[in-house]
Structures are given as structure tokens and as C-alpha cells.
């Protein structure tokens, strides 16, 4: 069964959105198979967002993602990667349609509530980075 890595970012955790967001995945039919509320190190954040290291906002992104607890999850089910991305919506919450998580809960492209892996390959890498071998 396909697995995706999903992470509620520190703004989502601070705002008390864990329950609401987890229930959207459950209602969709994606099963929560691992979850952990934790703080991530700067090193983990830099590895996770390594593909963005040349962007002008990279430092700000690492500061944000390490600014508090995240809720890291593995969700499992049919086409878990594409189905979780469609629940999440586009990167910029201002452009995300209502009904998506970012469309319903976000306004800011920097603090956009949630992360979801964008490919099967990256899902496997991110699961290994956050949970080790599962």
C-alpha cells in the first residue's frame, strides 16, 4: 500500500488544527499509520528543504519550520501521495480553493499550515528522515 509523508507545520499545531486536519485524511480514506508530535532540528529542516537551499527565503523557511512542534505523519492508502496533495491544495493558501486544507486555513505563502510529499520517491526519503526505517 502506498505511503505518503504529511506534516502539520508549527503554525497549524499552534492554532490547534491537528484534530481537524487528521480527520480530513481519515474521512478521505487515508489511514494514519504513524504520527509524532515533535520539534525538528535545524539540520533535519535543512535536509528536508534541501532542494530550496538557493531560494532567498530558505533561512526564513528553516526558522519557521523549527519555530515549534510539528505533527509528522505517515498516511497510507490508494495513491496516498497524490490524494494527500489534493487534500492539501496549492502551495500558496491565497490561491488554494476553499475545501482544501490550505484554502480553508491559510493566508500566507510562507506559513501554509501543512506539508505533503510531492512524489513517491520524496515520500520514501521523508519517511526515512523523520521516522527512520518503518
Q: Could you list the residues known to form a binding site, using ranges.
A: 9, 57, 85, 91, 102, 112
Taking CB under 6 A as the criterion, the residue among 36, 91, 95, 121 binding ligand GTP is 91
CB of 91 to ligand GTP, least distance (A): 3
Distances (CA, A) of 57 to 52, 53, 62: 9, 9, 9
DSSP characters over 9-25? -HHHHHTT-HHHHHHHH
Measured from the CB atom, the residue of 77 and 106 that comes closer to ligand GTP is 106
Alpha helix stretches (DSSP H) within 29-57: 42-48
**Residue 107 binds which entry of ligand GTP, Mg ion, none, CB below 5-8 Å type-dependent:** none
Of residues 17 and 114, the one with the C-beta less far from Mg ion: 114
110 lines the binding site for ligand GTP (CB under 6 A): yes
Helix, strand, coil % over all residues of the chain, rounded to 5 = 45, 20, 35
Contacts to Mg ion by CB under 5 A? 118
Amino acid at each position: 500500500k502506498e505511503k505518503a509523508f504529511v506534516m502539520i507545520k508549527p503554525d497549524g499545531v499552534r492554532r490547534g488544527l491537528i484534530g481537524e486536519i487528521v480527520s480530513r485524511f481519515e474521512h478521505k480514506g487515508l489511514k494514519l499509520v504513524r504520527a509524532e508530535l515533535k520539534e525538528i532540528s535545524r539540520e533535519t529542516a535543512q535536509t528536508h528543504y534541501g532542494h530550496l537551499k538557493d531560494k532567498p527565503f530558505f533561512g526564513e523557511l528553516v526558522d519557521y519550520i523549527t519555530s515549534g512542534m510539528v505533527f509528522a505523519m505517515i498516511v497510507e492508502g490508494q495513491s496516498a501521495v497524490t490524494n494527500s496533495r489534493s487534500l492539501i491544495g496549492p502551495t500558496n493558501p491565497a490561491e488554494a480553493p476553499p475545501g482544501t486544507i490550505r484554502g480553508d486555513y491559510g493566508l500566507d505563502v510562507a506559513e501554509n499550515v501543512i506539508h505533503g510529499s510531492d512524489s513517491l520517491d520524496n515520500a520514501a526519503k521523508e519517511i526515512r528522515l523523520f521516522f527512520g526505517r518503518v
